[in-house]
Structure 1
Amino acid sequence: MKIVIVDCDHEGTGIERGVAEAAGHHLVVASARTEDEVIAAAASAAAIVVQYAPITRRVLESLPELKAIGRYGVGYDTVDVEAVTEHGVALCTVPDYGTEDVSDHALALALSLARGVVRLDAALRRGEHDLAPVKPLHRFSGRVFGVLGLGAIGAATARKAAGLGFSVIGHDPALEPGTTTPAGVPTRTFDELIAEADILSLHVPLNAHTHHLIDTAVLAAMKPTAFLINTCRGAVVDTDAVVQALERGTIAGAGLDVFEQEPLPVDHPLLALPNAVLTPHAAWYSEESYAELKRRVVENVVAVIDGRAPRNMINPEVLGIP
């Protein structure tokens, strides 16, 4: 059967092709960005793999032979899940391929801010040896590391932060505030987490409830010495509000790997702020996670079109899976 990668910005798709061909299927690679381009590229496909292209109700209505959709990564905010399910199409993701990598990156951003690494490096390159720009620095054992969202990545981040000596607290809407997770993380209300955290690391999906969850009011409720870390989805944070908070000293700094507009424009005001540490949506990446993502996304759709249950599925009711 025909499997179409409708869009992918990776250097190559050899891993995906190997999985598809080993299962006896034909893989086609396209570069679709719009609904019309997706529809044209995926005509007669039994399955598609998507990175950023929109998968809308109109797309589903135009692809009657489609049985499975594989999404590169954890999130699926560009996919109309209701329409996919109504059309009997299995939606598969790879939710845990980058758990270690994203949590590592969240810690890297947090530590670079907590120890002033980026600002000290820039000053040293200018021939400056003064600690004043990064004072006061504090040892980790006296700081509170707050984790918003205690799913797989949030839990891994909490575990690693605790290993470095931070006092870790968390919030997750699925957990009762005041309880402790099986891994030993004390839970707080959302407001308590915001107020207590010296470092606030975000690990939530992007949906109607979390869009601009971190806004001007939330930033104002944080400690002025606190750092904000975002490695989940750019639109969870109101970017304009973060810029203003950094400019005004409402918070001490931000480590951001994801943005509302990607790639980040070269004239974006964040790039001029010395208290912002920025990376280009790189948290997911390691050689190991890269290979695992590419292999498993195709394995999932191959399983569906071959009549088997995939490893990871958002709408299992489509296949009659409880």
Structure 2
Amino acid sequence: IVGFGAIGRAVARIGNAFGMQVVAYTPRPPVAPEFPLVRFVSLDELFSQADVVSLNCPQTAENGGFVNAALLERMKRSAFLINVARGGLVNESDLAAALRDGVIAGAGLDVVAVEPMLPENPLLQAPNCIFTPHIAWASLAARQRLTAIVAANLAGYLQGKPINVVNSAWLPATARG
């Protein structure tokens, strides 16, 4: 598991429930993890050891395209890459070549770098590449949760106690805490 936020942790719980030996990479591993069955390793170790690599991390300016030819070469030939995070994390040309050349066994992608997918995306012609629609947010429960979060964010801001702040630069100085 690459990324150990809420989604990565949920994936770890499911993997543990199925008896999988879970390894994870996160820039700041928990000091006293609530996941004793998860072993935290370096990114290189994770890609070389895992049978399935699941990307569950945000995309930042620093990690765009980090899944490239060099990292894919570290994977087992029998391994699979799953990306349910952000399409820009993966160099799509490198992944298509790795699939075509048998460097890895397959990929399951919920996202691509440009959505909707462009006809010239090299992954469309890549063997053993499965695409699923990125629509987990579309269920009634998910939309109700999103609406509640937006309402809580607005109420918090109006009370001078903002929550879920991604970039505090736009906040008034009194609300930056």
TM-score using structure 2 length: 0.87
Residues 180-195 of structure 1 correspond to what in structure 2 (within 5 A)?
Answer: 181-184=33-36, 185-195=38-48
Aligned residues: percent identity? 37
User: Against the structure 1 CA distance between its residues 279 and 197, is the aligned structure 2 distance closer, same or farther, given a 3 Å change threshold?
Assistant: same
Aligned to 1:270: 123
Per-residue CA distance 1:222-250 (angstroms, 9 max, x = gap): 11110001111111110111111111111
Higher relative contact order (CA 8 A, sep 6+): 1
Between the aligned partners of 2:117 and 2:150, the Cα distance in structure 1 is 27
Aligned to 2:176: 320
Which structure has the larger Rg?
A: 1
Per-residue CA distance 1:165-223 (angstroms, 9 max, x = gap): 211111111128xx773212111111111100000001111112211110000001111
* Structure 1 contact 231–283 (Cα < 8 Å) conserved: no
* Structure 2 contact 65–89 (Cα < 8 Å) conserved: yes
Query: Displacement, 1:300?
Result: 1.1
Aligned to 1:228: 81
Aligned residue type for 2:146: L
Aligned residue type for 1:320: R
Residues 179-218 of structure 1 correspond to what in structure 2 (within 5 A)?
Answer: 181-184=33-36, 185-218=38-71
Between the aligned partners of 2:119 and 2:140, the Cα distance in structure 1 is 27
Root-mean-square deviation (CA, aligned residues, Å) is 2.1
What is the number of equivalent residue pairs in this alignment?
Answer: 172
Query: Displacement, 1:274?
Result: 4.2
* Structure 1 contact 180–187 (Cα < 8 Å) conserved: no
Per-residue CA distance 1:118-166 (angstroms, 9 max, x = gap): xxxxxxxxxxxxxxxxxxxxxxxxxxxxx01111111111111111121
2:12 pairs with one of 150, 154, 158? 158
Structure 1 residue 171 corresponds to structure 2 residue 20: no
Structure 1 residue 254 corresponds to structure 2 residue 107: yes
Between the aligned partners of 2:58 and 2:29, the Cα distance in structure 1 is 16
* Structure 2 contact 80–105 (Cα < 8 Å) conserved: yes
Query: Displacement, 1:296?
Result: 1.7
TM-score using structure 1 length: 0.50
> Gaps (5+ residues) in structure 1?
1-146
* Structure 1 contact 219–250 (Cα < 8 Å) conserved: yes
Per-residue CA distance 1:239-267 (angstroms, 9 max, x = gap): 11111111111110001111111001245
* Structure 2 contact 100–127 (Cα < 8 Å) conserved: no
